[in-house]
Chain A
């Protein structure tokens, strides 16, 4: 029982990060019908920059802010300089370009920072509090929950309560109609990529201290889990992405806790296959299954 409680909290804490990262994938998918495979690499790139700033200034939080702002900027630049020029006649084009970006970013990071793992400092203790002998959450876990909660709440408010959010949703759903109504659809796309990459970078800063550390490929496995979370949620649904993230986090935690860590990635892939076979539209989509 103690173990189950511990694994549950651990899973929710991981899941929160996957939720944020999946949310970033959903934002871009909704706006462009592209799965941004480069999101992990982009997040690692900004994390390197953030930790460099931290090392140079001695302030973790300055580096943290730089990483998130760097994510916003990198997302905007990626859309303006690369993705805008991708031919949209086939969905595959955007995916291939995104995969190309992964190789470029990981290659450049390897050249600059080297391909060995570097430690990624956590801003708070990762030792779990114990209540009545049961290990629950660490300060860092609480920080993760808080950060993800704030981001999800801010995004939800942006999309449902502001006119910019309304413009962004309209642009994603009906670009031509939106342009006829005076919406700067190109600008909304850039903003969408910036927000998504910013959230991705935040997720990176939250997950890297708990995994192996900084490495050009460090986010690959996180990407797989988060992509699965997004698919479980239906790719189109922001609520689905959050729920999917928590589901995947719990699954990973239970499987690695009870069956061993080596089995965990396989469990994620099995979940992905089961969802795609059984309910390809995702658990949270109302519309019919999409054609991929």
Chain B
């Protein structure tokens, strides 16, 4: 796995000394990370470690008080949130990413509206329906009638309609049955292998995240306390006990 990561070498995303919030206890402090092109990186840590804040900062929803985010060599300072998707960044937020008042089809179309290549946006939409069979059967259903797993599929599918380079996923396993979680993790791996998609994944579910990830980043109280191969993290008992709780 790490061979392949090395083969597609080069980092897609870098964060340098990212600080969010003010005073003695900022939400993020001096966070640095590098995400390699075509890799899956898991961001782990307890509640309140700053994982979601990190994702929101990377996608531009939050502005860092210090530090910077670089995507593919370009500084993202001053780039508006609504421009991020045009640069290939898709952020699937935690829990309620689905617009529950809109239908499945409307949600998915929304993911491709920004694209000028209408034909490919349509193709991408059809691909998502092929990928997620349950969504195809519920095209006209409003989002609020979907199950948790279907909502997660919808949020993920909607991000894929934009054909992103970098996918930021916040707690995709939240509230899902283990079987569904495993499906989604497997899908991420397939997408990575097939399309070179880069994934940054925030997870509470350490086991399933490390099962799919190439690299793991462990956060605690707004700092990065470890950054290593997923396999290394899996085997590091001290780390697991101290920060990952298993």
A, B bound: yes
Binding site for B on A (CB under 8 A): 163, 166-167, 169-170, 173-174, 176-185
B106 at the interface (CB under 8 A from A): yes
Taken together as a complex, chains A and B put the C-alpha atoms of A185 and B162 apart, in Å, by: 18
- Proximity bits, B80-112, A CB within 8 Å = 1, else 0: 111111100011010011011110001001110
Which residues of chain B come closer than 8 Å to A174, judged between CB atoms?
Answer: 96, 99
Q: Is the C-beta of B158 less than 8 angstroms from some C-beta in chain A?
A: yes
| Residue of chain B at shortest CB distance from A185 | B82
Q: Which A residue's beta carbon lies closest to that of B114?
A: A182
Task: With A163-B113, A166-B113, A170-B110 as known contacts, state yes or no: A180 contacts B85, CB within 8 Å.
Answer: yes
Whole-angstrom distance between the Cβ of A29 and the nearest chain B Cβ: 14
Q: How would you classify the secondary structure of chain A's contact residues: helix, strand, loop or mixed?
A: helix
Find chain A residues with CB under 8 A from B158 CB: 181
Cβ contact within 8 Å between B101 and A169: yes
Contact indicator per residue, chain B 55-89, by CB within 8 Å of chain A (1) or not (0): 00001010000000000000000001111111000
A183 to B107, CA, bound (A): 13
Closest chain A residue, CB of each to CB of B118: A163
**Quick one: which of A176, A183, A185 contacts B93, CB cutoff 8 A?**
A176
CA of A176 to CA of B170, assembled, Å = 14
User: Within the assembled complex, what's the spacing in Å between the Cα atoms of A161 and B10?
Assistant: 43
Interface size on B, residues (CB 8 A): 26
Binding site for A on B (CB under 8 A): 59, 61, 80-86, 90-91, 93, 96-97, 99-102, 106, 109-111, 113-114, 158, 162
B110→A181 contact, CB < 8 A: yes
Bound state CA distance, A182 and B90, in angstroms? Answer: 10
B residues less than 8 Å from A183 (CB atoms): 82, 110, 113-114
Q: In the complex, what residues of B have CB within 8 A of residue A169's CB?
A: 101-102, 106
Q: Which residue of B lies closest to A187 (CB)?
A: B82
Q: Is the CB of B102 within 8 A of A173?
A: yes
Which residues on the A side are within 8 Å of B91 (C-beta)? 180
Check A176–B99 contact: CB distance below 8 A. no
Q: For residue A21, give the distance in angstroms from its CB to the closest CB of chain B.
A: 24
CB-contact partner of A180 in B59, B100, B109, under 8 A:
B59
**Given the interface contacts A181-B113, A183-B113, does A170 sit within 8 Å of B85 by beta carbon?**
no
Q: Which residue of A lies closest to B59 (CB)?
A: A180
**Could you tell me the distance in whole angstroms from the C-beta of B204 to the nearest C-beta in chain A?**
21
Shortest distance in angstroms between A284's beta carbon and chain B's nearest beta carbon? 14
Residues of B with C-beta under 8 A to A178? 99, 110
Among the listed A163, A166, A176, A184, which residue makes an inter-chain contact with B61, where contact means beta carbons less than 8 Å apart? A176
CA distance A182 to B111 in the complex (A): 8
Nearest CB of chain B from residue A77's CB, rounded to whole Å? 22
Cα–Cα distance between A184 and B84 once the two chains are bound (Å): 12
Q: Is the CB of B114 within 8 A of A181?
A: yes
The reply to whether B99 and A173 form a contact with Cβ atoms under 8 Å apart is yes
- Excluding A166-B102, A181-B113, 20 further A-B contacts by CB distance (< 8 Å) are A166-B109, A166-B110, A166-B113, A170-B99, A170-B102, A170-B106, A170-B110, A173-B101, A176-B61, A176-B93, A177-B93, A179-B61, A179-B80, A181-B111, A181-B114, A182-B85, A182-B86, A183-B113, A183-B114, A184-B82
Give CA–CA (A163, B110) in the complex, Å: 8
Question: For the complex, what is the distance from the CA of A180 to the CA of B109, rounded to whole Å?
Answer: 14
- Name the residue on A nearest B89 (C-beta): A180
- Distance in angstroms from A189 CB to nearest chain B CB is 13
Closest 9 CB pairs of A and B: A182-B114, A182-B85, A179-B81, A174-B99, A173-B101, A179-B82, A180-B91, A173-B99, A182-B82
